Amino acid sequence: MFKILKYSFFDLTRSSWSYVYFFFYLLLGSVLLFLNNDLSTAIITLMNVIIMIVPLIGTIFGVMYYYNSREFTQLLLAQPVRRSSIFLGQYFGVAISLSLSLILGLGIPFAAYGLFKSSAIWDFSMLLVTGLFLTLIFSALAFNIALSHENKIKGFGYAILLWLFLAVIYDGIFLLSLVYFQDYPLDKFSLAASMFNPIDLSRILILLKLDISALLSYTGAVFKQFFGTPVGTLASLGMLFLWVILPLFRLKRVVGKKDF
Amino acid sequence: MVSIQNLHKQFGALKVLNGLELDIMEKGIIAVLGPNGSGKTTLIKSLLGMVVPDKGEISIAGSNIRKRWNYRQEIDYLPQIANFPGNLKVQELITMIKDLRGKPAREKELIEYFRLQPFLDKKLNKLSGGTQQKVNLVLCFMFDSQLVILDEPTSGLDPVALLQLRNLLQEEKEKGKTILITSHIMNFVEEVADRIVFLLEGKIYFDGTVSEIKSSTGQPDFEHAIAKLLSEDHV
Ligand SMILES: Nc1ncnc2c1ncn2[C@@H]1O[C@H](COP(=O)(O)OP(=O)(O)O)[C@@H](O)[C@H]1O
Ligand SMILES: [Mg+2]
């Protein structure tokens, strides 16, 4: 698997898109930190961007890489290499190169700002940790979708729809149901609902780190009670971890049965 | 070397292989023929584990290949469609495949043989179809395995290259290899093949030598004999 990972990774380091993505974060991080006096506003803005953009980029890169490397894959399938190694290698190639763009792109301006010496380092690390998770999760989902659709256009379409659903529509339905059922105690429901969406989960983790849970809706208290404890944080990170592992299991299973 | 029992494969509603049986124990060149879409590529891909059969057993060199992958170490395979990562250079691709196999290769000799030196630094998507096919042939033959599987090796080759391929096949055969091949160029097949396996409706419809096909159909010309074979029960 590591040989495949290496080739995919180097293939991507030669692609200009990786650099575009890196410079985007570099620019974003620099602008927000240096043109903004308030550190916590900067981090919140950054969070809002990360929570939308990281999944989107992970999705697009994942799908694009899968379809663009179909020839390479064909070639590899005839070699003495395990099938799952081929696809997991490619997946980690994509995920690691995206993660590097994110870490370096945001890390450099933060280091320049002197944040590593301040206490905001923890808020910043939580941003990066969730960013990494979202990258791993959404490229895994994208690989799954692409694998199940020979047709590139369809694959792209479904992947974007999934992103749209988890990033926007899910929250919409969630809020609507809160309003609609406001007479019922919905604490548990909303807790569960946010556990099942990696984007919501990431948002909550960051907001709690920033200690601005008051910004959340009236369910904030319950959220803080749960997510604010070490158990809650661990549970959420565990959930994010599951969101990475489960798609990879499916990937492995589907790959084992597919005809190429 | 290769033993296939009761092989079934269907894609959706389309039955492609339907209880196919085939044993290849001998050395020499075995040609798999059949109309377009008769399942030649599907059969070959099943041998390589790229297509997963619905039913049936395949053993190569004495052991069942199901869910295994390292047996491919001992097979040289030429895919029907040479799909290369276009952004790689020829030399990079060769180096990469060698690295993946982790075994010595004789690519220099073959590059020389097909006169590919001027193209080594070119990107693969800048090469003509014929040159790509030669690169494909180098990648395939460079590991010198005992079992060679070639899916349409003649496609895209000009007459000179075709002659080169024929001579190469002859040399490899003399080394005692088993070479499985599909091709649409009938007089190429007639010249090289020791045994013809004719695929029709998911089964082996005819299995024998070129002269046996000719005598059983009563046609002195190979191409006509094949045409006759096709039209006999299937008008
Ligand atoms: N992965 C696949 N999915 C669906 N149909 C396929 C697939 N591979 C091959 N087929 C179909 O199976 C039939 C046999 O194909 P193939 O083995 O390539 O034939 P041949 O090589 O003899 O021309 C064709 O009708 C082809 O369209
Ligand atoms: Mg074919």
Assess contact for A51 and A132: CB atoms under 8 A: no
Res. B83 pLDDT band, cuts 50 70 90: confident
Interface of A with B (CB under 8 A): 3, 7, 11, 14, 69-72, 74-83, 256-260
Nearest to B97 among A77, A79, A258 (CB): A79
Interval A51-76: pLDDT, tens: 999 999 999 999 999 998 888 898 89
Identity of the amino acid at A153: I
Phi, psi of B91 (to 5 degrees): -60, -40
Handedness of CA A164, A93, B141, B70 (dihedral sign): negative
Provide the residue type at A210 as one letter. Answer: L
Query: Residue A210: is its pLDDT beyond 80?
Result: no
Chain A residues near residue B151 by CB distance under 8 angstroms: none
How far apart are the CA of A80 and the nearest CA of chain B, in angstroms? Answer: 5
**What local confidence, expressed as pLDDT, does residue A226 receive?**
75
Average predicted confidence (pLDDT) for chain A:
87
Q: Measured between alpha carbons, how far is residue A109 from residues A44, A97, B201 in Å?
A: 16, 19, 66
Percentage of chain A lying above the pLDDT 70 cut: 92
- Range in A88-97, A150-159, A211-220, B166-175 the model is least confident about: A211-220
Q: Which amino acid, B43?
A: L
pLDDT bucket at A215, cuts 50 / 70 / 90 = low
Question: Is 50 exceeded by the pLDDT of residue A218?
Answer: no
Residue B86 has pLDDT above 80, yes or no: no
DSSP label at A118?
S
CB contact under 8 A, A71 and B86: yes
Q: Which of A75, A81, A82 sits opposite B84 (nearest CB)?
A: A75
Contact assignment for A80 to B73 by CB distance below 8 Å: yes
Q: Is the pLDDT of residue B168 over 90?
A: yes
In this predicted structure, what is the pLDDT of residue B182?
Answer: 94
- Nearest protein CA to atom 20 of ligand 1, as residue: B37
User: What is the spatial distance between Cα A227 and Cα A239, in angstroms, rounded to a whole number?
Assistant: 12
Q: Where are the domains of chain B?
A: 2-230
pLDDT at position B235 is 43
Residue among A60, A45, A23 nearest A138 (CA): A60
Who wins on pLDDT, B15 or A41? Answer: B15
Residue B60 · residue B89 · CB < 8 Å:
no
| Nearest protein Cα to ligand 1, atom 27 | B37
Distance A57 CA to ligand 1 centre (A): 35
- Distance, CA B121 to ligand 2 centroid (Å)? 30
Q: Residue B178: what are its φ and ψ, rounded to 5°?
A: -100, 120
Q: Which is it for the CA torsion B26, B31, B33, B36, positive or negative?
A: positive
Q: Which atom of ligand 1 is found nearest the CA of B199?
A: 22
Q: With beta carbons under 8 A apart, name residues in chain A contacting B70.
A: 80
Overall average pLDDT of the B171-180 stretch: 96
The domain B2-230: what is its CATH number? 3.40.50.300
pTM to 2 decimals? Answer: 0.89
Q: By the CB < 8 Å criterion, does B69 face chain A? A: yes
Q: Whose CA is nearest to atom 16 of ligand 1?
A: B39
Res. A142: pLDDT tops 80: yes
In B42-54, which positions are buried (b, 16+ CB within 10 angstroms) versus exposed (e)?
Answer: bbbbbbbbbbbbe
What pLDDT does B164 receive?
Answer: 95
E strands along A94-241, which residues?
none
- Residue of B162 and A37 predicted with greater confidence: B162
What pLDDT, on a 0 to 100 scale, did the predictor assign at position B32? 95
Q: Are A112 and A31 in contact (CB under 8 A)?
A: no
A164 vs A178: CA distance, rounded Å: 20
Mean pLDDT of chain B: 92
- CA end-to-end span of chain A: 19
How large a percentage of chain A has pLDDT more than 90? 48
Q: What is the mean pLDDT of residues B34-59?
A: 94
| A106-137 residues labelled b (16+ CB within 10 A) or e (exposed) | bbebbeebebeeeebeebbebbbbbbbbbbbb
- Give B52→chain A minimum CA distance, Å: 6
CA closest to B67 among chain A residues: A256
Q: What is the DSSP letter of B131?
A: H
Q: What is the pLDDT of residues A115-128, one digit of tens each?
A: 666 777 777 888 89
As a whole number, mean pLDDT of residues A188-212 equals 81
**Which residues have CB under 6 Å of ligand 1?**
A 259; B 11, 14, 16, 34, 36-42
The pLDDT > 90 percentage for chain B reads: 79
Question: Which H or E run contains A248?
Answer: helix A230-257
Ligand 1 pocket mutation pick from B11, B45, B48, B199 by most atoms within 8 angstroms of CB: B11
Q: Does B101 touch chain A (CB under 8 A)?
A: yes
How much of chain B is helix, strand and coil, in % rounded to 5? 40, 25, 35
Assigned token pair, A61: 């890169």
Instruction: State the closest ligand 1 atom to the C-alpha of B80, by its place in the atom list counted from 1.
Output: 21
Task: Report every protein residue that has its C-beta within 5 angstroms of ion ligand 2.
Answer: B 40-41, 80
